[in-house]
Chains A and B, each alone.
Chain A
């Protein structure tokens, strides 16, 4: 019999994820991914004012904060066919890219890096060699031998204190760590630098949305006003700060994040053949440059890739009742029409019905229902969503920027295109899109400035702010690309109230339990075949799981 391993809590993620694995002959032969916390936000927003819902659903997640608010305001605007001013679109884009850059960098350094970087080994690094290494891959100024020496000293004092804090009981010394000590020391330095940087970039959210986490949104536009002759509005000083932060972000991403990513990846090329999982990729696309209704203007294109066929991008339609459906055959819910049916989100239901083991428990009943996540399917198919899907759809759509960054990375690492479909590919795709996004950010900024220069300072379309102007019934869907992938919210508005509201979230696609046909979703599929050197310390499993950047508060909501 195979050996059962349980990882609960899976840490360095958002939320409560439990993974149960069957391991045989040093390899994972089956995997079960379970979300163990639910809040019922879909039930809570029912009957609320649709103009308020963004605030509730934004609290689905404080890590990818803003993306749910964006999907929500769009769903209402879509239902009412409400166009927002171009400035509002651009400000939303700037908030989007801010969120994505911050989230990806935090993921790479603080949630993922310790899977590849051995902090304890950094103690034995030679600061001079570390400096040489750092300077060979980047022109980032903080790279002197003295800098690394001081850091090492600080680290040593920390380790010597015997109180390892967040590093206690880590997998230090595990066979699967491959980096030289110098790369580890550099990794630790950038871990700390990234921690400082991430709090800077989000100031853009504070400028446009008042705070971060959980900046404010507004149905019909954005709440901040543009007035270059007013101290109380977005004026030249505020805009200059945004520009400064965006410039800094680009530098940090190009001189720290990408070089680190490439350096680390070059030691783990074998992970370009592990953790591929599903062969279908879905992206809703986002970052409109000509209004949200013009999908062709999106920087992230919309589409589907089936069977890893990069020659064809299949269209996806969120409003088609036959395309996207959620199933609950293995999830703790009941559907009024029977638990084997799938429901399009406009008809979606959320009835909590726990049927798992009574806590405290050692194992889940994986033969039955075993998760609080529903299982979304596109025309019955499991899909992977996330940075990899976005890069693949962009690549397959023939967009040159995508081709350039992907080809450059593959060449540098000297790996085949197929290495994209892997744990390494997923992690690399995240970095590559961050690079693209950092460039687009400056384009959006320039567009905003041009608009203001041309005398357009509108940020809200008042047309439907008053609910008396609404039809008795309306349905909408708001789609976006969250850092973790394709995100959409579906709303049904009746008599000025939210009659039904359903979220289908990126981590729901990826982390969901299998469907009635036994088809695994992305996490479970990608874990199959993962080598496990030491079942007591399943570091390899964490690598693949973390490559998706799990967010379980999102996934279940």
Chain B
């Protein structure tokens, strides 16, 4: 057990020599960041004064660590401030000093001390195939570790597309049966933060929200925070006027590309992708994929890897060639239908001549006892 009493954020800041004024400014700023009105700042202040520095455990499962990397790219708040002042990041394989059993002990201790209170952040998917042998840490399977850590968690955040949707390793044929975490754990509030990776500021923003309000942000039907996943990239894309006008890039670096026209025809998935890229942008607001001339890949959508090829408007059909879209198949069917019909018409004329003649020659004048309307 820790001999030290857990300090509130306000006490924490006092210890660091911050003034009350600094503290209030910080709260106002946090409030602004998560979009509360100025009248709501008081509640942020109260929240900060009374809340403990929450323990956070970050699990690394079947991943590429780009979510961790993205997190440390956050520019507001910067990560040094989050991990030194706002949370107690008690386990993360990427950054923690301790290794091996020292690291394991740190995690166990934090779980024990904060049972039912810690926030669990999960990066990576869980390979459930073949009893989990495709991802082991400390001799344990990813699945076992996740279940154990989730049990004492207050809330769980699924970072990135791996934890939310399985991501690249779950793409066809999913050799390791990579599984998103909501299929493994249940009974805990779960926030999905999809994206490959998610935007750093979005990740930090979600943590700030939880810290400031002590609640999880409002989620959509799929468990994603509305604040960042409520709109399609296309709805907030600055190239949208070109789309509406009918001004499109046809090939990379053609005249239209050089004018920054819409990337729809070279496969932009912005119209089918929910993410904050076009508003929050990436890397401290520097740019986002479309601004740099490449269409959106749809990296925050489930199964986007299997919705390729990426450089055409629609995915190709499974079982048909790479280039085949619905249009190619449709056109084929249409032409097939026309040809079939032509043949049918010819045959009809030959085979049914008799019948037709029969009808024509024997038609009678119909009863005239009825009138049309």
| Interface set of A (CB-CB < 8 Å, partner B) | 6-16, 18, 36-41, 43-44, 48-49, 51-52, 55-56, 59-63, 65, 106, 110, 114, 119, 150, 153-154, 157-158, 160-171, 192, 195-196, 198-200, 202-203, 205-216, 218, 220-227, 230-233, 241, 352, 354, 356, 358-362, 457-460, 462, 465, 467, 496-497, 537-538, 542, 553
By CB atoms of chain B within 10 A, which of A157, A227, A231 has the most?
Answer: A157
Closest partner residue, chain A, to B88 (CB atom): A163
B4-19: contact bitstring with A at CB < 8 Å (1 yes, 0 no)?
Answer: 1111000010011100
* Chain A facing B: main interface SS: loop
Indicate if the CB atoms of B168 and A168 lie closer than 8 Å: no
Does B93 count as interface, using CB distance less than 8 angstroms? yes
Closest partner residue, chain A, to B305 (CB atom): A56
In the complex, chain B residues whose CB is within 8 Å of the CB of A157: 12, 15-17
Among B134, B137, B322, the residue within 8 A (CB) of A352 is B134
A458 to B251, CA, bound (A): 13
Closest partner residue, chain A, to B125 (CB atom): A39
Closest partner residue, chain B, to A497 (CB atom): B322
B74-109: contact bitstring with A at CB < 8 Å (1 yes, 0 no)?
Answer: 110011100110011110111111111111011001
Q: Which of B278-333 contact A (CB under 8 A)?
A: 281-284, 286-294, 297, 299, 305, 308-311, 321-323
Does B259 count as interface, using CB distance less than 8 angstroms? yes
Closest partner residue, chain A, to B113 (CB atom): A163
Closest partner residue, chain B, to A362 (CB atom): B139
Indicate if the CB atoms of B175 and A119 lie closer than 8 Å: no
Among A168, A458, A497, the residue within 8 A (CB) of B98 is A168
Given contacts A160-B15, A169-B106, contact A359 B141 (CB under 8 A): yes
Indicate if the CB atoms of B72 and A214 lie closer than 8 Å: no
Indicate if the CB atoms of B97 and A360 lie closer than 8 Å: no
29 pairs, CB–CB < 8 Å, chain A vs chain B: A11-B96, A11-B97, A36-B137, A37-B134, A41-B169, A44-B169, A49-B309, A56-B171, A62-B67, A63-B64, A63-B66, A154-B84, A157-B12, A160-B4, A165-B90, A170-B96, A171-B97, A203-B283, A206-B283, A206-B288, A207-B286, A215-B292, A220-B252, A223-B293, A223-B294, A362-B139, A467-B323, A538-B100, A553-B63
Given contacts A61-B64, A163-B53, A496-B322, contact A44 B100 (CB under 8 A): no
Given contacts A206-B283, A230-B259, A356-B133, contact A195 B80 (CB under 8 A): yes
Indicate if the CB atoms of B283 and A199 lie closer than 8 Å: yes
Given contacts A169-B102, A352-B176, contact A62 B139 (CB under 8 A): no
Given contacts A56-B171, A206-B292, contact A16 B60 (CB under 8 A): yes
Among B4, B136, B167, B173, the residue within 8 A (CB) of A16 is B136
Taking the closest CB of chain B, its distance from the CB of A430, in whole angstroms, is 18
Q: Which A-B residue pairs are the 7 nearest by beta carbons?
A: A62-B66, A232-B260, A162-B4, A170-B97, A40-B175, A210-B289, A210-B292
Given contacts A165-B90, A206-B287, contact A15 B139 (CB under 8 A): no
Among A6, A16, A110, the residue within 8 A (CB) of B95 is A110
In the complex, chain B residues whose CB is within 8 Å of the CB of A233: 258-260, 293
Closest partner residue, chain B, to A62 (CB atom): B66
In the complex, chain A residues whose CB is within 8 Å of the CB of B367: none
B131-149: contact bitstring with A at CB < 8 Å (1 yes, 0 no)?
Answer: 1111111111110100000
A6 to B136, CA, bound (A): 14
Closest partner residue, chain B, to A218 (CB atom): B252
In the complex, chain A residues whose CB is within 8 Å of the CB of B167: 59
A26 to B339, CA, bound (A): 85
B189-228: contact bitstring with A at CB < 8 Å (1 yes, 0 no)?
Answer: 0000000110110000000000000000000000000000
In the complex, chain A residues whose CB is within 8 Å of the CB of B92: 166
Indicate if the CB atoms of A41 and B144 lie closer than 8 Å: no
Taking the closest CB of chain A, its distance from the CB of B128, in whole angstroms, is 12
Among A12, A457, A553, the residue within 8 A (CB) of B97 is A12
Indicate if the CB atoms of A213 and B197 lie closer than 8 Å: yes
Indicate if the CB atoms of A206 and B286 lie closer than 8 Å: yes
Closest partner residue, chain A, to B263 (CB atom): A223
Indicate if the CB atoms of A8 and B138 lie closer than 8 Å: yes
Taking the closest CB of chain A, its distance from the CB of B295, in whole angstroms, is 8
Other A-B pairs, 12, CB within 8 Å; known A206-B282, A232-B291: A16-B137, A154-B84, A161-B53, A162-B5, A166-B89, A168-B97, A169-B109, A192-B80, A211-B277, A213-B69, A227-B260, A359-B131
Does B43 count as interface, using CB distance less than 8 angstroms? no
Closest partner residue, chain B, to A54 (CB atom): B310
Does B62 count as interface, using CB distance less than 8 angstroms? yes
In the complex, chain A residues whose CB is within 8 Å of the CB of B100: 6-11, 538
Interface size, B (range):
35 or more
A496 to B309, CA, bound (A): 12
Given contacts A231-B260, A354-B130, contact A41 B286 (CB under 8 A): no
In the complex, chain B residues whose CB is within 8 Å of the CB of A205: 283
In the complex, chain A residues whose CB is within 8 Å of the CB of B309: 48-49, 51-52
Given contacts A61-B65, A225-B253, contact A211 B90 (CB under 8 A): no
By CB atoms of chain B within 10 A, which of A48, A65, A119, A206 has the most?
Answer: A206
Indicate if the CB atoms of A161 and B7 lie closer than 8 Å: yes
Given contacts A212-B283, A457-B258, contact A10 B99 (CB under 8 A): yes
A163 to B127, CA, bound (A): 32
Taking the closest CB of chain B, its distance from the CB of A378, in whole angstroms, is 27
Indicate if the CB atoms of A37 and B292 lie closer than 8 Å: no
Indicate if the CB atoms of B253 and A62 lie closer than 8 Å: no
In the complex, chain B residues whose CB is within 8 Å of the CB of A223: 252, 292-294
Indicate if the CB atoms of B105 and A169 lie closer than 8 Å: yes
Does B234 count as interface, using CB distance less than 8 angstroms? no
Taking the closest CB of chain B, its distance from the CB of A409, in whole angstroms, is 27
Taking the closest CB of chain A, its distance from the CB of B292, in whole angstroms, is 4
Indicate if the CB atoms of A43 and B175 lie closer than 8 Å: yes
A160 to B251, CA, bound (A): 59
A165 to B137, CA, bound (A): 20
Given contacts A36-B135, A55-B297, contact A9 B286 (CB under 8 A): no
In the complex, chain A residues whose CB is within 8 Å of the CB of B17: 150, 153-154, 157
Taking the closest CB of chain A, its distance from the CB of B4, in whole angstroms, is 3
Given contacts A44-B169, A467-B322, contact A360 B139 (CB under 8 A): yes
A538 to B99, CA, bound (A): 9
Closest partner residue, chain A, to B136 (CB atom): A36
Taking the closest CB of chain B, its distance from the CB of A354, in whole angstroms, is 4
In the complex, chain A residues whose CB is within 8 Å of the CB of B68: 62
Given contacts A163-B88, A221-B252, contact A209 B65 (CB under 8 A): no
Among A208, A221, A496, A542, the residue within 8 A (CB) of B292 is A208
Does B239 count as interface, using CB distance less than 8 angstroms? yes
Given contacts A161-B7, A199-B74, A212-B283, contact A465 B251 (CB under 8 A): yes
Indicate if the CB atoms of B134 and A38 lie closer than 8 Å: yes
Given contacts A14-B94, A56-B171, contact A51 B311 (CB under 8 A): yes
In the complex, chain A residues whose CB is within 8 Å of the CB of B259: 227, 230, 232-233
Indicate if the CB atoms of A230 and B64 lie closer than 8 Å: no
A536 to B297, CA, bound (A): 47
Given contacts A16-B137, A206-B292, A553-B65, contact A163 B176 (CB under 8 A): no
Indicate if the CB atoms of A359 and B140 lie closer than 8 Å: yes
Given contacts A162-B3, A359-B144, A362-B139, contact A216 B294 (CB under 8 A): yes
Closest partner residue, chain A, to B161 (CB atom): A59
In the complex, chain A residues whose CB is within 8 Å of the CB of B251: 460, 462, 465
In the complex, chain A residues whose CB is within 8 Å of the CB of B142: 37
Indicate if the CB atoms of B99 and A62 lie closer than 8 Å: no
Indicate if the CB atoms of A52 and B310 lie closer than 8 Å: yes
Indicate if the CB atoms of A16 and B135 lie closer than 8 Å: yes
